[in-house]
Structure 1
């Protein structure tokens, strides 16, 4: 793959062109990509602010619900309330970088190769159903999205393992999660990259378990390379073993610490572009878990010194975030594993067009049956902690991974903090894991 800021060769560009970029994004394309509601918000019959969608009326809203949510509502597992559709404007530096680099980015000869990318949204133009690489381009938009910005901590991060039938909470785990970008940085110093970076990493995720005692100080480090064709490095430190071990590729699709979520499920998809076949399935207006955190009825369960409150959960088994849902423009993308031994046959991602966030994902098992539904609640940063206001960084705020076959779920409540001091580069290496708690 062509390195960061390297000059693409004539041959590479020719191959990329042959691979099919149908047209370069125009100024109008970029405006439409980042400000899709400037001329008005989506509408659908009966979908108005405050509308409650439940078992009795769900048939009227089939056109604006993904199949997973439609199924849950039909079964009486949850009722949802419609919120007003609002614009989640992204950080100006990201929009500006997209404008500066428009038309310079091409997909390479095969999936996982990208030519000419510098910063911003690689493919801001509307996806074209006639373009065989349209799904892959949307996946690149997700990979190089502004979600989490250049560095962010989720601290604390509360997970619950729940029996959906009985409502029993079987396990509580308290984590700290940390994210950092090494390259294509726009809003936290240093810009545009962290140096030195001899391994040519793009991004890293560091996880540390705080509670309970039996898994305390379990740590996970995932290092993703700038070159998507290079395998991620993943390391696990188990406190009771007091040693770091490298995870094999297959272990990222195991249940993470006995939960309903695998490492590859994080954020909607946490793997390489080249690990999947990508198909663009269309664009639609769908109800999505986007909202303003401070306007929700929040939980009093956990007490924070600064008064911050977490999203509450309800519905069957306590598996559903108590939030409002916005009717939003959504690109539907299907990913199917290249590896025939993968436990998943395909995922269907509902990608928010404005932010490129995969906030709803349906996961199908190897037989092709619906296995799990992942929902990722997204809050506007201006309705959150003071340090996040004005950032233009959309915040992950609550998640639920529901195993519809096992009738079980794992839920997460976030305190996302855009704070460079909480994500020093020194956190994201194996030596730090060995250093203990």
Structure 2
């Protein structure tokens, strides 16, 4: 009888301990989710002397050197541009994406070689804080970017204006009007079908389709990129040239050529448009930095050009050569990540990406040539979806809203003015195949 009582007591104690451990584990997991997706929930970042509404210029930039990346600091120091400081705000991603991350927490791992990942279905694969002691921390952050919610399950930049500018004279040499379309085949959390589009015989993760609308000499040029779910497989890319009226497959090296004579490579799109396995990734640290995040509808916009019939106005540009967007910048939590090309013939020696810790967009990238000298800097302005087009409200997508790629060696830049739309009707699946290129080009 005493033995039975003892066994019962033991079982009660074990059950209690197990329940306690499970509760502790659940709390720890939820803390990971909160820190990853809501970093400003309990505390807003501060820096001495920094206040919303102030302008950082040549006269006071030294005071804020710690919170500006070196390339942009140099631009301000030289009087090329200024930064208007905005209030730090939360860019909450869609709850479905957060929940997908919660469900898969602890189930995702890296494979033996760069480019291999196990257990990912949807959401952020590695929401835990990176550690300097983890030699693969940079690679994990790169996966967080690749499987991020940038443009959500699908979206379009419709239309998209690129301007080629001489920084010395300020002349706009060329304006190209595009439509860009993005479609995720896997990891879908919001737009039906979820979690993936089937059939998917090529086992794709993502596709990008680009169509040139103007000017006449490049009209109907189209680009199609297929990215396989297996990162070790090379992208398949095709280019349709309107004046030749034929489709040709892009060679691997062409993704690092100047795209249509601009300052961008195809590999530059969205901050980095390549395979994880094409780079060696190194986590360099976590810091608070000023980053180009803002509410589009609260800016002084471009009222002179590219105004749509619905009244939508794009971001205006100013500064040296008209190469800098007129936007506000927020003090935000940032992961600094270095990517070094595996291919020694790559035109870059490295990129330094400043990844936003909440959204995992890449609003700032600094690129260095083969000699290690500063070559280009890329700024992608991020607009809050609830202060943009009505159709973007509640989408949980940090909207790419403006860009500036500056070639400091050539004193030249390419700027981008967006009308980003989270609208699945603009991205039908039949758009993302080679047959569509031919049909759209005839």
- TM exceeding 0.5: yes
- The secondary structure found in structure 1 opposite 2:329 is strand
User: In the aligned structure 1, how far is the partner of 2:351 from the partner of 2:286?
Assistant: 16
- The secondary structure found in structure 2 opposite 1:435 is helix
| Aligned-residue CA RMSD (Å) | 0.9
Q: 2:166 aligns with which of 163, 166, 169?
A: 163
User: In the aligned structure 2, how far is the partner of 1:282 from the partner of 1:238?
Assistant: 43
Q: Does 1:274 align with 2:313?
A: no
Equivalent residue, structure 1, for 2:49 = 46
Quote the offset at 1:25 in angstroms: 7.5
Quote the offset at 1:30 in angstroms: 1.2
Equivalent residue, structure 1, for 2:382 = 378
Equivalent residue, structure 2, for 1:11 = none
User: In the aligned structure 2, how far is the partner of 1:194 from the partner of 1:235?
Assistant: 21
CA contact (8 A) 2:307 2:314 kept: no
Equivalent residue, structure 2, for 1:19 = none
Equivalent residue, structure 2, for 1:35 = 38
User: In the aligned structure 1, how far is the partner of 2:73 from the partner of 2:115?
Assistant: 34
Q: 1:318 aligns with which of 315, 322, 340?
A: 322
User: In the aligned structure 2, how far is the partner of 1:401 from the partner of 1:40?
Assistant: 33
- The secondary structure found in structure 2 opposite 1:29 is helix
Q: Does 1:338 align with 2:379?
A: no
Q: 1:250 aligns with which of 249, 253, 258?
A: 253
**Largest Rg, 1 or 2:** 2
Q: Does 1:198 align with 2:201?
A: yes
Runs (5+) with no aligned partner, structure 1: 1-23
**Per-residue Cα deviation, 1:355-408 (whole angstroms, up to 9, x for no partner):** 001110000000000000000000000000100001111100000000000000
Equivalent residue, structure 1, for 2:101 = 98
Equivalent residue, structure 2, for 1:5 = none
Question: Number of residues paired by the alignment?
Answer: 414
Equivalent residue, structure 1, for 2:216 = 213
Deviates more, 1:25-34 or 1:223-232: 25-34
User: In the aligned structure 2, how far is the partner of 1:161 from the partner of 1:121?
Assistant: 35
Runs (5+) with no aligned partner, structure 2: 1-26
Quote the offset at 1:140 in angstroms: 0.2
Q: Does 1:112 align with 2:87?
A: no
User: In the aligned structure 2, how far is the partner of 1:153 from the partner of 1:377?
Assistant: 16
Deviates more, 1:38-47 or 1:170-179: 38-47
CA contact (8 A) 1:26 1:125 kept: no
Equivalent residue, structure 1, for 2:351 = 347
CA contact (8 A) 1:345 1:365 kept: yes
User: In the aligned structure 2, how far is the partner of 1:409 from the partner of 1:223?
Assistant: 28
Equivalent residue, structure 2, for 1:434 = 438
Q: Does 1:285 align with 2:288?
A: yes
Quote the offset at 1:184 in angstroms: 0.8
Structure 1 pair 371/307, CA: closer, same or farther in 2 (3 Å)?
same
CA contact (8 A) 2:293 2:382 kept: yes
Quote the offset at 1:302 in angstroms: 1.5
Q: 1:154 aligns with which of 136, 157, 161?
A: 157
Equivalent residue, structure 2, for 1:182 = 185
- The secondary structure found in structure 1 opposite 2:127 is coil
TM-score normalised to structure 1 length:
0.94
Equivalent residue, structure 1, for 2:5 = none
- The secondary structure found in structure 2 opposite 1:26 is helix
User: In the aligned structure 2, how far is the partner of 1:46 from the partner of 1:372?
Assistant: 30
